Structure 1
Amino acid sequence: MRPRVAAAAGGAIALVVTLGACTENTGEGTNVDINRTQTGVIATDPKDSLGPAPEVPGAKKGGTFTILRETKIVHLDPQRTYSFVGLMNAPLYSRYLTTWKDDGKGKLTLVGDLAETPGKNVNNDCKVWEFKIKDGVKFEDGRPITSKEIAYGIARSFDLDLTGGPTYIQEWLVDSPQFDTKWNFKANKDSLPPGLTTPDPKTLRFEFNKPRCDLPFAVSLPTTAPLPADKDTGVNLDNAPFSSGPYKVTKHTVGTELVLERNEHWDPATDAVRHQYPDKFVWTFGPDQSAAANRVIADGGADQAALSWNSIPSSLVARVAGDAALKSRTLLAPTPQTNNLVINTQRVTDLSIRQALNYAIDRDGLIKTLGGETVAQPLTTLLPPATIGFKQYEAYPAGKSGNIEKAKELLAGKTPELVFGAADDAEGQEVATQIKANLEKAGFKITIRSIPTDARLDEVKKKNNPWDLYLGQWAADWPSGASILPVLYDGRTIKPEGNSNSSFINSDAINAEFDRVLALDPTAQADEWAKLDQRIMTELAPVVPLYVNVAYFAHGSKAGGLFVSSVFGWTSFVDAHVKQ
């Protein structure tokens, strides 16, 4: 019997055994904490979703906070936002039905953002959900935000002119990956997609044909950002989004500068997460990774209150890590982004060969090739440590540098000839060369075939691609196995092109398990995903887990309140302030 999603008021539903580390910038000492145990809950007490957010110690209002980045943010339109930079920037000017309260010290709580709570599972079957909208939430022009504007925002995400954003909610409402063929936004602007209704200005209702127990998580994505129909400028909304958050866009010179200033109609009493400390946030586009890092390290003028958006480049790692004075101006934390050596199981059909690849891998050598522990941390599981219910295990104990003898034992004298499809850029070739040399010690014969870097991702997702091995990266949209394991390993999703399941594994037994676990509410899913993680690796070995990315950021001496998001692995701005 499935447990209920809701619990008695006055508590929270525990979801997480451990999560990946999150490092907060306190401005004091070394900001490295890669072994922190984290906890997470879904808030059940409406008080948890109320504002104002707790004050950040020492933070004061005023000043301009600058972010340095080489290239523009591709999409500012919330319904089109899906890049990491977009997902970290958008909360400054957009609010969603739910959001994550992340204290930067190891505690995650899913709370209501525009909604009073993270949702009500009306019939306790995950098919009907209702969200009550908070009083006092407003747009930048002062008009109230109601269920109508939130529903319109979701509806416009069906418009194929507005591609780029998440598609979970669209697919779930019409019960089809081809959501655009089931409901046409342009032909139905005065109505809503099937299953989405607004019984009254305070209520948004979802009705699904199948259980969608992860809806409280999915509505924390920008798909649920509200928009009045009369402010919908279509593709031009990318240039000037309409604010529902603490800041609003006041200047946007595409590719050069983006300026956000305070939205006077944002009410902190309605917001459990965000603050409004800086007068302005200014994105400056142009400086490359090294130039941006050098600027914040130099710590002059406006750059004292600046963040270098990208990680510290390898050329500067030794300098930064060796300078005690810079340690208080860095953030170092593993991210939820996993990297695997993907095995094309259509071509490598022998399980023992796939298992031998797992035993042979030299993770330590690979991480040194990538640049060391400030770039990557070893991974032996399908789920990253930042996942709900994560449990550490090693299906194929290989030590730091691989268990060559065990790999040879499994190969039993065979010398499998495998083709490694690798990106043709410098890093892609360097990594492929390291892995080739490593695997050949165990008896494999590896041939590297180059793929144009800008085409590699599309090519390896083709069902009939000609490679046995290739690198794959995945970052979940919320910290649950539901947004990782079924997406990457459900064989029923395999199509001619565009496959997230690029190992092309297809097991009826595992597919049935996906259906079973997805029908559970998140409180029951957590342990089940961890069990299924180990079962997939033990029974199928579709990939060789390699490492999780590590975030290593530098900022100026007056940039305060920064921490690495436990959900997305990039710098969060909800507590950002300029030290006075």
Structure 2
Amino acid sequence: MSTGTERLTRAGAGWNAAVGAAVNPSTARGGTLRLVSSADVDSLDPARTYYVWVWLLQRMLNRTLMAYPTDAGPAGLVPVPDLAEGPGQVGDGGRTWTYRLRPGLRYDDGSPITSDDVRNAVQRVFAQDVLPGGPTYLIPLLDDPAHPYPGPYRTDEPLESVRTPDDRTIVFRLRRPFSDFDHLMAQPAAAPVPRRADLGAEYGENPRSSGPYRIAAHRPGRFLHLERNPYWDRAGDPVRPALPDRVELTIGVDVDELDRRLIAGEFDINLEGRGLQHAAQSRVTADGVLRSRTDNPRTSFLHFVSIQPHVPPFDDVHARRAVHYAADKILLQQARGGPVTGGDLTTALFPPRLPAHQALDPYPTGPDLRGDLDAARAELAAAGLPDGFEAVIGTQRGKFRLVADAVAESVARVGIRLTVKELDVASYFSLGAGHPDTIRKHGLGLVVTDWGADFPTEYGFLAPLVDGRQIRRNGGNWNISELDDPRVNDLVDRSLHTTDPTERARHWREIERLVMDHAVILPLVHDKTLHFRNPWVTNVYVHPAFGLYDVQAMGVAPDRAENTENTESTESTDRETTP
């Protein structure tokens, strides 16, 4: 290898080197960052996106009042001012939050960014009939139940709970205290949208950019190209280094083909962050050089099976509990990739880094974790189904399909006969598993899915999965089981009304126990994904708030071409010597 390659390899070599630190730190600008994904972006409209990897992409296109900093350590979990000059100024016992915009902010067309644009962005969240798909935390916080706000496309009247006394000041008046509000102002839905460009459902086809890049070309399902935003001011952005001149995302590559081409150096980073599939995992972990280019972080994503109480026979809690007891946890972990790359087995919901995490195992599956079949049969008998039953499990291709097959193999031992139904990858979370109509159309009693917190608190992690008021009938639904327990909803509210962290954690532990008693979520693993980084990519790190590589921080080394040649040569040698 060349001297440049050796330098990069030394700086970037090492299993998990990009966990807690940045690999190949550099301030070099220029070049093209080449990204790849198997799925398409869910939306380029910041109000409609909910895929975590698209949120990371949005960090390149859009700025928000607050943002998670470019930091690989614990500081990355705490939002910092972005468009705003400082954090929200809190008043009235946590009910009023005031932000002031930095001066001189502009969109990619040169027009100024104002507080009214931020208010318009927030108002758009209320137009769920026009703009479904994104998070809706702001609606219960800002709406008046007696006079619900219909969104900006049904009325010219502004949302009364958001005021803009001047072009740089915005004031939010919440219905109840919400200590995590700065986190909400770091979500894409808070990115400013000027009224003059707001075309409703069509806005995502030509959105204005407030970040360092803007859309140069986009063909859905094929590619997305970004170029520099000429009006972005580096001095006024404390978060984004914006190193590449251009960013090119290739979309729709089959997962195994994606891995092969990524390792061959055709792409720099897998933006989607699903991690290497089993075939590539085996090869990479057996090769010392390739292994040194991988990271295996605990991402805090929860992989689980949602069990639908509105799809018979799972309307009987005993049928649901039978699945819990019959689960072969070891087999399911192996389906995810084993203990190294598949994740840490869990019988609880909260990841260990959250204060409410507790040792909870209401449905023990035996000392070997292979399943308590006697307990499962007893639950079937209690459901009046001693001989088992037939049902359908929804999934998508790749690792999700392997998990579905493992679930089917597990429960078949007690007479539960599952048919596996594969849904489209690109729309899996929006119109597939995330749409109640799809669940009913296909009779999906079980659904393989995963979840990463919208923001790193207990509320951000669990509320979208279990709060009945967050069920979405039009798609993008994460409360897949449609759990609507008043006790759970009440405890969620109590957790938001207290500033005592001990009491807040106690409320969330009780919520978790209630949810597990319903048996609508079968937790599998807390995710550990095997990410691959090519050695010429700079500033690579796993962002602690997202659990994936923070692509907006990345650059490319000037000697990439030489690195690519060496990688391709290694690939050729490997192909020739691998039996």
1:321 is aligned to 2:285: yes
Residues 141 and 104 (structure 1 numbering): CA distance in 2 closer, same or farther, change over 3 Å? same
1:114 is aligned to 2:80: no
> Which residue in 1 is equivalent to 2:348?
381
Alignment match of 2:159 (pick from 193, 213, 216) = 193
CA contact (8 A) 1:461 1:500 kept: no
Residues 531 and 149 (structure 1 numbering): CA distance in 2 closer, same or farther, change over 3 Å? same
> Which residue in 2 is equivalent to 1:567?
545
Task: Using the TM superposition, give the Cα deviation of residue 104 of structure 1 relative to its aligned residue in structure 2, in angstroms.
Answer: 2.0
Residues 257 and 525 (structure 1 numbering): CA distance in 2 closer, same or farther, change over 3 Å? farther
Q: Which moved more, 1:513-522 or 1:499-508?
A: 499-508
Q: Residues 258-288 of structure 1, C-alpha deviation per residue, up to 9 Å, x if partnerless?
A: 3323334333343332112122222233543
Residues 335 and 533 (structure 1 numbering): CA distance in 2 closer, same or farther, change over 3 Å? farther
Residues 246 and 439 (structure 1 numbering): CA distance in 2 closer, same or farther, change over 3 Å? same
Task: Using the TM superposition, give the Cα deviation of residue 446 of structure 1 relative to its aligned residue in structure 2, in angstroms.
Answer: 0.8
Q: Distance in 1 between matches of 2:472 and 2:208?
A: 37
> Which residue in 2 is equivalent to 1:229?
195
CA contact (8 A) 2:276 2:532 kept: yes
CA contact (8 A) 1:307 1:556 kept: no
Letter in 1 for 2:66: T
Q: Distance in 2 between matches of 1:493 and 1:203?
A: 30
> Which residue in 1 is equivalent to 2:509?
531
SS at match of 1:121: strand
1:28 is aligned to 2:6: no
Residues 433 and 61 (structure 1 numbering): CA distance in 2 closer, same or farther, change over 3 Å? closer
Letter in 1 for 2:88: G
Task: Using the TM superposition, give the Cα deviation of residue 515 of structure 1 relative to its aligned residue in structure 2, in angstroms.
Answer: 2.1
Counterparts in 2 of 1:386-535, with a 5 A limit?
A: 387=354, 389-398=356-365, 399=367, 401-402=369-370, 404=372, 407=375, 415=386, 417-423=388-394, 431-439=403-411, 441=413, 444-451=414-421, 453-454=423-424, 455=432, 457-458=434-435, 469-490=446-467, 500-503=478-481, 505=483, 507-521=485-499, 523=501, 527-528=505-506, 530-535=508-513
Q: Residues 182-220 of structure 1, C-alpha deviation per residue, up to 9 Å, x if partnerless?
A: 32413444x422311102222211123333443222221
Q: Residues 76-111 of structure 1, C-alpha deviation per residue, up to 9 Å, x if partnerless?
A: 222232223321111112001111225224442222
CA contact (8 A) 2:411 2:417 kept: no
> Which residue in 2 is equivalent to 1:183?
150
Task: Using the TM superposition, give the Cα deviation of residue 147 of structure 1 relative to its aligned residue in structure 2, in angstroms.
Answer: 1.2
Q: Which moved more, 1:126-135 or 1:498-507?
A: 498-507
Q: Residues 206-250 of structure 1, C-alpha deviation per residue, up to 9 Å, x if partnerless?
A: 123333443222221111111333333544442332221122233
1:138 is aligned to 2:106: yes
Percent identity reads 26
| TM score, norm. by length of structure 1 | 0.78
Q: Which moved more, 1:325-334 or 1:89-98?
A: 325-334
Task: Using the TM superposition, give the Cα deviation of residue 328 of structure 1 relative to its aligned residue in structure 2, in angstroms.
Answer: 3.4
> Which residue in 2 is equivalent to 1:260?
226
CA contact (8 A) 2:393 2:444 kept: no
> Which residue in 2 is equivalent to 1:153?
121
SS at match of 2:92: coil
Letter in 1 for 2:50: Y
Q: Residues 388-414 of structure 1, C-alpha deviation per residue, up to 9 Å, x if partnerless?
A: 654454444545624527836975986
SS at match of 1:91: helix
Task: Using the TM superposition, give the Cα deviation of residue 547 of structure 1 relative to its aligned residue in structure 2, in angstroms.
Answer: 1.8
CA contact (8 A) 1:359 1:403 kept: yes
> Which residue in 1 is equivalent to 2:28?
60
Residues 520 and 338 (structure 1 numbering): CA distance in 2 closer, same or farther, change over 3 Å? same
The structure in which a higher percent of residues are helix is: 2
Q: Distance in 2 between matches of 1:525 and 1:570?
A: 31
SS at match of 2:300: strand
Counterparts in 2 of 1:71-86, with a 5 A limit?
A: 72-86=40-54
CA contact (8 A) 1:293 1:308 kept: no
CA contact (8 A) 2:307 2:521 kept: yes
Letter in 2 for 1:169: L
Task: Using the TM superposition, give the Cα deviation of residue 256 of structure 1 relative to its aligned residue in structure 2, in angstroms.
Answer: 4.1
Letter in 1 for 2:345: P
Q: Distance in 2 between matches of 1:249 and 1:552?
A: 30
> Which residue in 1 is equivalent to 2:568?
none
| TM score, norm. by length of structure 2 | 0.78
CA contact (8 A) 2:32 2:244 kept: yes
Letter in 2 for 1:447: R
CA contact (8 A) 1:419 1:468 kept: no
Counterparts in 2 of 1:46-57, with a 5 A limit?
A: 57=25
1:250 is aligned to 2:216: yes
Q: Distance in 2 between matches of 1:321 and 1:148?
A: 52
> Which residue in 2 is equivalent to 1:45?
none
Q: What stretches of structure 1 of length at least 5 have no aligned partner? A: 1-24, 39-53
Residues 184 and 104 (structure 1 numbering): CA distance in 2 closer, same or farther, change over 3 Å? closer
Q: Distance in 2 between matches of 1:257 and 1:467?
A: 32
SS at match of 1:482: helix
Q: Distance in 2 between matches of 1:239 and 1:136?
A: 26
CA contact (8 A) 1:418 1:446 kept: yes
Q: Distance in 2 between matches of 1:64 and 1:98?
A: 27
Q: Distance in 1 between matches of 2:484 and 2:48?
A: 31
Residues 417 and 274 (structure 1 numbering): CA distance in 2 closer, same or farther, change over 3 Å? same
Letter in 1 for 2:497: A
CA contact (8 A) 1:26 1:561 kept: no
Letter in 2 for 1:513: L
Residues 223 and 65 (structure 1 numbering): CA distance in 2 closer, same or farther, change over 3 Å? same
Residues 265 and 549 (structure 1 numbering): CA distance in 2 closer, same or farther, change over 3 Å? same
Task: Using the TM superposition, give the Cα deviation of residue 66 of structure 1 relative to its aligned residue in structure 2, in angstroms.
Answer: 1.1
CA contact (8 A) 1:361 1:439 kept: yes
Residues 404 and 559 (structure 1 numbering): CA distance in 2 closer, same or farther, change over 3 Å? same
Q: Distance in 1 between matches of 2:411 and 2:252?
A: 40
Q: Distance in 2 between matches of 1:306 and 1:467?
A: 34
Q: Residues 512-540 of structure 1, C-alpha deviation per residue, up to 9 Å, x if partnerless?
A: 32221122348567523552355325654
SS at match of 1:78: coil
Letter in 1 for 2:299: T
Residues 305 and 468 (structure 1 numbering): CA distance in 2 closer, same or farther, change over 3 Å? closer
Residues 464 and 486 (structure 1 numbering): CA distance in 2 closer, same or farther, change over 3 Å? farther
Letter in 2 for 1:115: A
